[in-house]
Each structure stands twice: as C-alpha cells, then as structure tokens.
Structure 1
Amino acid sequence: MRRYGPAVLLALVGAAILRVSLFSDLYLRYVQPGLRPYLMVSGVVLVLLGVGVGVLVRTAGEQEVQGSHGDHGDHGGHTHGPAGPRVAWFLTLPALALLLFPPPALGSYSAEREADRRAARSVGTFPALPAGSPLDLTLGEFGSRAVYDSGRSLTGRTVRLTGFVTRDADGTWYVTRLLVSCCAADAGAAKAEVRGAGAPPVDTWVTVTGTWHPQGEPGSDAAWPPVLDATSVRRTPQPDNPYEKR
C-alpha cells in the first residue's frame, strides 16, 4: 500500500484545491477572485497526475510479480519496490486538513501585525464622492481619503463601513479589513477607530454608520488611524470575499 503514497498525496491535494475553488467560494479566503480558474486547472491536473501515478505504480507492481515468478536466482521471490518510508504517509495529513477543515480567513491577529506597515503616500486631492447617504465605502478608500485627502472630501458625509472588530489593550476598537494584492500572504490592514459605540467581540463582523472625525494635518501621524463617530453599529455575516483589493 505504501507504493501508492505519492499518488494518494497528489489526488488529495488536487481534491482539496477543487473543493475550495470549484465547489465553493472558500478560495476567496486565500486569493483574489481572478485566480479561481488557475486553481481549478491546478486541482484537475493534480488529481489526474495522482491517478496516472497510481496506474503506473500498479503496472510496475504487476510486472515485478510476474518477474519474480520466473526468477529462480538468489532473490527468493522477494520484491524490492520503491515503497519509501512509512513516515511519508504523514504528508497526507495537511492535504486531508485542507480537504476536510479549510482554515478560516485572516482576522484580528493578522491585522494587528500589519496595521503599522503603511506605504508612504503623497497628500493630494481626491475625486468627488458620489451622492447618497449613507455612502458605502471600503475601509481602504475611507482611510486614504481621511489621511491623505487635502480637499477633505469626507467632511459632513455619512458613510457606512463593513469589516471585523479589532481592539487595543486600552479598549479602543476599530472596524478593520485586510487588503490583498494577490493572496492572503501579502495582506495588509486598513482600519478606522470607532467612537460613540460599545465594542462588539473581537473578530465579529459589523457594519458601522457614522461621520468622519477629522484629526491632524493630512498625511501626518496624527491623522492615522482615521476616526469615525458612529451613529449605529450592527452585526453582519462575514462576506464571501472577506478581503478588499489593495
């Protein structure tokens, strides 16, 4: 049975990739939507490779058995197939875990690690915001305008932000979202401090409505993180795609 280890491992990894990309939207926890076709192709290729390797191993085993029946030398009927060490079967555990228990999307721990890594940007004017109240904005857009917009386009506008809850040791809490360029490995955080409302539990997904609270000069350290004076906070389910595009 050990002969089939590589084949089983390839098939399990391929099946796990297909499970999160072809049969569900779980892949959105790890990569951008545009990478879905590549994941599906990779999963199919790995499954086919696993089947192909299994067939080759079986064929080779049958040939060894036939050869041993006709060999009257010193081998005594023993085969010497490349079974490999038994410990190699432990490599199937990560594949099974991905197949049966896909890891969750990144949350508050990752946001806390990345929150201080802000790319240097120049202060300038931003395009006018569309009409509507409240105005739905991403955390990335809200943060960019609040910190870098010299035209103060957020002044007086009621906005609505959706993200998960993070909290400092002093009780200050934030509505937070992770921004990705390609996949979860390059995630960075965008967040807004929420004032005027009690903090839900950490990692709870919420939609916060309120108005921007200006502080500091545009582009200064005092302007970060942006602040939102909340008028309402309501819990919301985690979206299928928990990340914003950077």
Structure 2
Amino acid sequence: MKRNIEVLLLLFFGVGLLHISLLTDLYLRYVRAGLRPALIASGVLLILLGAVSAARDDFPFNRPRTDQVHEHEHGHAGGPKVAWLLYVPALTILFLAPPALGSYTASRGDAETPTAPASTTGDSLYPALPGKGVVEMSLNDFTSRAVWDTGGSLKGHTVRLTGFVTPGRHGTWYVSRLAISCCAADATVRKVRVHGITAPPAYAWVTVTGTWHPTGKIGTDDASAALDATAVRRVPAPKDPYNDVVATRAGS
C-alpha cells in the first residue's frame, strides 16, 4: 500500500505540473513566466520516477518484492492511513488549480513603494511622459513617480492604470497589483488610492483613468500614490496577473 501511494503521488504531481505549465497558462498564477521550463522538466522527471517505481514494483499488480515480504513478516509493512491525504494537493493541481493571489491578499498586506532609481548623470531620475493623450502606465512606475519624483513629471498628465479593486477603510478603495520575484510566496503589493469614483466590486479587474493626486511630501516616506479618477472600466483578468510591465505611452 505504501508503495502504491508513492507511485501514484509521483505520477499525479508530474501530470499536474505538465498540465499547468505545458498545456495551459495556469502556472502564471504561481510563478514567473521564466520558470516554465523548470516546471516542465520537473513534471517529466516526476512521471519518469513514477514509471520506474511502478515497473520495479509490478504496479498495479503489487507482487511483493523480497524486502516487502521481509517487512510484512516483521510487522512493518504498510503506512498510516493519513498518507492518503497527500493526494489532495496533487489532485488539486490537476483538476482544481487555485486562483492567483488577488484583492484578499492585497487588502491584508502593506503597500510597498518601488525604490527610487539611482541617477548617474545628475539629470532627472524619471524621463518625461508623453505630452499628448492618456498615458498608459504600470502601477510600479506610477507609484514610484508619485512618491519619489520631486521633479513632478506626473503633473498635467492624464494616466491610465490597470489592476484589481482592493477595498479600504471607510469606503476608500485602491487599484492594486501584486509583484513577484520568483513565486506567489514572495508577492509584494502595489496600491494606488482612487478618489472621486465609487468603488467597483472587490476583486474586479479595472482600468482607471485620472490625474495624479499629490499626497504627503514628495521624496519622503510620507508620500503615497493616489489618483483623482475620471473613469473606471471593468476589464478581463490578464493571463499573467503579476506582470505589471507596461511601455509608458500616450493613447486615446
């Protein structure tokens, strides 16, 4: 029985990893896109290990090997029944892939402001934004400028941000994103408080259009990112929810 559990776990985990990383984009809910080859290789390796174990044990016929007979005769065969619970995470990956981290996580985590870029020329730390139209920006770029840009590059520009709705206290709300370095376990929060428009439903993905709302003393930890919104539109959740890379550009 113990060997059966081990073989099936290897096979289920291997098939599950290949399912989320090779056949679908579900792996993007948990790790960075660059880790896809490692996940595929891990899935193949687990399946090979399971196949080798199955062949060695004549699975599923379960003809006991000499060492298994010896263990049985001395009362050491089998394993705890609770070992069957190990199938739960394996089957979850295969059939019920958990969703990406979202508003619930963001509402319980403190927003982290990106570190200000270092200047090597003595010029402004931030390049000027396009002069016409609505400027599409990442939350990472917007929050960094809103907190650290003493040159005020956000002044006079209408910007568009995309993220999910995170409720705050006393009716406030934020457009948020989660950033990861490796996997969902190291996720950090980016938040921009939205003024002027009633919050859409929590967890909804939206694009928010508006202008910079200065908050606190720029260039210090007292500053925070905020936006005076003029429009909010629901959008589908992206395939890669942690990828906040946007080429700053002006649009309609």
- Kindly state the Cα deviation for residue 3 of structure 1 after the two structures are TM-superposed: 3.0
CA contact (8 A) 1:164 1:203 kept: yes
Q: Residue 93 in 1 paired to residue 88 in 2?
A: yes
Shift of 1:55: 1.1
Q: Is the 8 A contact 2:213 2:228 kept in 1?
A: yes
**Which residue is equivalent to 2:104?**
109
Quote the Cα distance in structure 2 between the aligned partners of 1:130 and 1:49: 55
In 2, distance between residues paired with 1:63 and 1:2? 12
- Contact persistence 1:216–1:222 (CA under 8 A): yes
Whether the 8 Å contact between 1:122 and 1:219 is mirrored in structure 2 is: no
1:140–1:244 Cα contact (<8 Å) kept: no
How far the C-alpha of 1:245 sits from its partner, in A, is 5.7
Give the distance between the partners of 1:212 and 1:138, measured in 2 at CA: 14
Distance 2:104 2:240 in 1: 18
- Cα contact 2:10–2:49 (8 A) shared by 1: yes
Q: Name the structure 1 match of 2:210.
A: 210
Q: Could you tell which deviates more after superposition, 86-95 or 13-22?
A: 86-95
Match for 1:93: what amino acid? V
Matches within 5 A, 1:87-236: 87-118=82-113, 121=116, 125-130=125-130, 132-224=132-224, 226-236=225-235
1:47 partner letter: I
Distance in 1, matches of 2:64 and 2:84, equals: 25
8 Å contact 1:125–1:150 — kept in the other structure?
A: no
C-alpha displacement at 1:118, in angstroms?
A: 4.5
TM-score in terms of structure 2 length: 0.84
Q: Is the 8 A contact 1:167 1:202 kept in 2?
A: yes
1:149-189 deviations in whole A, cap 9, x for unaligned? 11111111111100000111211111000111111111111
For 1:37, the aligned partner's letter is P
1:245–1:231 CA distance, 2 compared to 1 (3 A): closer
> Partner of 1:71 in structure 2?
none
SS of 2:13's partner is helix
Give the 3-state SS of the residue equivalent to 1:181 in structure 2. Answer: coil
DSSP 3-state at the match of 1:193: strand
Q: Which residue of 2 aligns with 1:58?
A: 58
- Aligned AA for 2:208? V
Aligned to 1:45: 45
Larger Rg: 1
- Shift of the 102–89 alpha-carbon distance from structure 1 to 2, 3 Å rule, reads same
Q: Secondary structure at the match of 2:150?
A: coil
Counterpart residue identity of residue 176, structure 1: S
Are the structure 2 counterparts of residues 132 and 15 from structure 1 closer, same or farther at C-alpha, using a change threshold of 3 Å?
farther
Paired residue secondary structure (2:57) = helix
Return the offset for 1:114: 2.6
Q: 1:164 & 1:42 partners in 2: Cα distance?
A: 32
Q: What is the CA RMSD across the aligned residues, in angstroms?
A: 2.8
State percent identity of aligned pairs: 49
CA positional deviation for 1:193: 0.9
Do the aligned partners of 1:175 and 1:191 also contact (CA within 8 Å) in 2? Answer: yes
- Unaligned runs of at least 5 residues, structure 1: 69-74
Can you list the C-alpha shifts for 1:105-161, whole angstroms capped at 9, x where unaligned?
A: 111222133324546657963122245521111111100011101111111111110
**Number of equivalenced pairs:** 237
TM-score (norm 1): 0.86
Stretch deviating more after TM superposition (194-203 or 82-91): 82-91
Q: Who is 1:241 aligned against?
A: 240
Distance 1:242 1:119, change over 3 A: closer
1:72 counterpart residue number: none
